[in-house]
Structure 1
Amino acid sequence: MILRELGIFVLAFAAFASAVAAYLAAFHGEAPLKEILSTAFAAVIGLYIGRYVERRLING
């Protein structure tokens, strides 16, 4: 269970980081590492909050 959650965290972080990096490079011409990592981290936190809320609503 913990390994599954760790895998989800790593894959989600990598996906968000690559998407943010691609966006910044395409539209702003540069991709600072600090912005990429902070935005990806915030997105993953939002993902986990959404999963928590979904589980709470399903289980009542």
Structure 2
Amino acid sequence: MIFRELFIFIAAFAAFASAVAAYLAVFHGEAALKEILSTAAAAVIGLYIGRCLQKRLSNG
């Protein structure tokens, strides 16, 4: 169970980081590592908050 959560965390972080890096590179011409990592971290935190809310709301 914990490996599943760890895999989801790593996959989500990688997906968000690559999407942010691509956006910054295409539309702004540069991609700072600090911006990429902080935005990806915020997105993963939001993802996990959403997952927790979904579990609580589905249980009643």
TM-score, length basis structure 2: 0.99
Gaps of 5+ in 1: none
* Residue 17 of structure 2 is aligned to residue 17 of structure 1: yes
Cα separation, 1, equivalents of 2:53 and 2:19: 25
Gaps of 5+ in 2: none
Q: Aligned pair count?
A: 60
Pairwise CA RMSD of aligned residues?
0.2
Identity within the alignment, %: 80
Structure 1 runs (4+) greater than 4 angstroms displaced: none
Cα separation, 1, equivalents of 2:7 and 2:29: 31
